[in-house]
Amino acid sequence: MINAQVKEKLEKEDILKLYKRGFKSEEDFTVGMEYERLPISSSSYKAVDYSAGNGICNFLRQFAKEENWDYITDDYNIIGLKQEHDTITLEPGCQIELSIKPEKTIFDIEKKVNSLNKKMNDILDKSNITLLEYGVSPLSTYKNIEIIPKQRYKIMAKYLWGILSDVMMRETAGIQGCFDFEDEEDAIRKFKIANKLSPFMTAMFANSPIRGGAETGYKTFRGLSWLNTDNERCGFACNLDEDFSFEEYIDKVMKSPIIFLNKENKPIEVDGRINFEDYMKNGFEGFEATVDDYKLHANLYFPDVRMRNFIEIRNQDCVSMPYAVLAIYKGILYGKQAMYDIEELFETFNNRDFCELRYNIPKNALQCRIKDYTAADIAKEILYIAEKSLIEMNTGEEKFLDPIKELTLKGLCPADIIIRNWNGLWNRDIKKLIKYLKNS
C-alpha cells in the first residue's frame, strides 16, 4: 500500500488567514520599528564594503562574538545576526537595519535601540565605520557599491526596473513603522489613513538632498528613487477613494509579476514571466503554489504602506529622530478620535490629489501644494492631532514629537536645514555635512 498525501491546491482562503492572524484586542496593540542606517568610512566618507578587512561582514562577526548573537546566513555568507526576536540585518548595499521586537511603548523601543547602539559603537569605532542617520549615500553612488552576497538581492537587482532602482537598493536608508489592528474593518481603515498620511510624512522627514557629494535639487532623493522603481509593485496599493478589503489587497499582490520562487532553499528565477494569480491556477515548471510562495511574493511587493498581519509603513527617510515617526503614527492610528479627526482633515482631497502630491513631494517637500493648501499647512494639523491623542493616552510619548514640531511648525524639513548650510556656512564641503549628520 502506498502511503501518499495528495497536496491540495492553494486557495485564497489560505492566504486570507495570513492577514487575519494579526487580529488583536486594543489592549494588546504594540509598535514595531525597522531602522536602517548608512555605514560609511569615518575617514573617507565612502560607503563601507561588505568583505573589506574593516568591512560589514567583519563587523557582524565581531558583534556576534562579543554579544553572543547568532548568525543569519545565505549560502554560507553572513548576512545578519539574531537574538531572540531582535535582528541586525543588511540591506542590498550594506545598509544596517535594526529590526526591534514590537513593544507596548516607544520608550521601550528607544531603550532597546540605545542599548544596541552602545554595544555596536565600540566595534564600529575600531572598524573605522560611522552609521549615518540619513536617507541616501552622501558620497558613494550605486556604481561603487556592491550588492551583498545574498541570492535574492542579486536576483532583485537584475529584475527590478526603473531608472533609479539601483539607487533605491544600494544607496538609501529609511525608517519603517509597524502597527496592529483589531479586525479587518479596523485594518482597512488604518491602511487607508496611513496611505493618505504617507506623502505628508515623506515631506516632514525629507532628509536626502545631497548625493554623490553634490546637491541633487531634491529634498528627498530617496523618495525620488522609489518613484522611479518598478511601478508594478511600488506606490499606493489601493485607490484611496474606493472601498477596500483584504481580498482586494491580495488580488493586487497576486497580479504583480513573480520575481523568483524559493524551493528547497534555492531560488528559482521567474523573471516576471507569470504573476502569482497565474501561478496559483497553472503552477510553474512543475511547482505548485504554496502559502510560503505567497509570503515570499508579498514581501517582494513594495508599496509605501504594506499590509501584513500588521500594517507596515515604509516611506520615511532615515532621520536622527526616528521615534517622532512612530509617535505620529501611534497617536493617530491608536486613537479613536484621532482617526476621525484625520479622516475629516483629508475629506476634501481625493485619490488624484494624494497621487499628485506623492509625485511632487521629493522635490519640494512641505512647500508642495495640495488644492488650496501647502503640505506644511496639513502637516501642522497632523502634528496637532497626533499630539492631542498621545497626551490623552497619558504615556508621555508626546515628547518624541518635539524635534519634528520644531521644524514642521516653521514649514521646514531636515533637508531644508542641510541645503541652507550646504550653500552657506559649509561651502559645499562634504566633511561638514558628515560632521553635522553625526552630531544631529
**pLDDT per residue over 173-187, tens digit each?**
999 999 999 999 999
Nearest-angstrom CA–CA distance, 321 and 85: 23
Alpha carbon distance 33, 179 (integer Å):
9
| Res 196: pLDDT | 98
Percentage, residues of the chain above pLDDT 90: 95
Between strands 302-303 and 234-235, the pairing is parallel
Q: Is the pLDDT of residue 4 over 80?
A: no
| Mean pLDDT score across all residues of the chain | 96
Sign of CA dihedral 83, 87, 90, 96: negative
> Is it the case that residue 50 has pLDDT exceeding 50?
yes
Q: Does the pLDDT of residue 1 top 70, yes or no?
A: no
| Inter-helix orientation angle 56-67/106-126, to 10° | 110
What are 310's three cell numbers?
Answer: 500588521
Arithmetic mean of pLDDT, 148-166: 96
| Whether residue 348 has pLDDT greater than 70 | yes
pLDDT tens digit string along 194-245? 999 999 999 999 999 999 999 999 999 999 999 999 999 999 999 999 999 9
Question: Per-residue pLDDT tens for 130-155?
Answer: 999 999 999 999 999 999 999 999 99
In order of 58, 165, 266, 405, the CA distances from 327 in angstroms are 35, 30, 40, 12
Local structure of 116: helix, strand or coil: helix
Contact 340, 190 (CB under 8 A): no
Quote the cell numbers at residue 427: 561651502
**pLDDT for res 3:** 40
Q: What is the pTM of this model?
A: 0.96
| Concatenated DSSP letters of 141-191 | -GGG-PPPS-HHHHHHHHH--STTHHHHHHHB-EEEEEE-BSSHHHHHHHH
Whole-number Å distance between alpha carbons of 373 and 365: 13
Closest Cα partner for 36 from 107, 89, 78?
Answer: 89
Q: Which residues contact 400 (CB under 8 A, 6 or more apart)?
A: 106, 321, 323, 324, 326, 327
**pLDDT digit string (tens) for 374-397?**
999 999 999 999 999 999 999 999
DSSP summary character for residue 240: T
HSE of 414, CA atoms in CB hemisphere, 13 A: 28
8 A C-beta contact, residue 202 and residue 361: yes
Q: Are 132 and 436 in contact (CB under 8 A)?
A: no
Distance, CA of 362 to CA of 349 (rounded, Å): 20
Task: Find the mean pLDDT for residues 252-267.
Answer: 94
Contact 35, 116 (CB under 8 A): no
State CA 242 to chain mean position distance.
Answer: 25
Q: What is d(CA 81, CA 65) in angstroms, rounded to the nearest whole number?
A: 11
> Which pLDDT belongs to residue 8?
72
- Tell me the domains of the chain and their CATH numbers: 30-256+301-439 (3.30.590.20)
Question: Is 6's pLDDT higher than 70?
Answer: no
- Which residues are registered as beta bridge partners of 41? 129
pLDDT at res. 5: 44
CB of 138 closer than 8 Å to CB of 102: no
Q: What does the pLDDT average to over 63-72?
A: 97
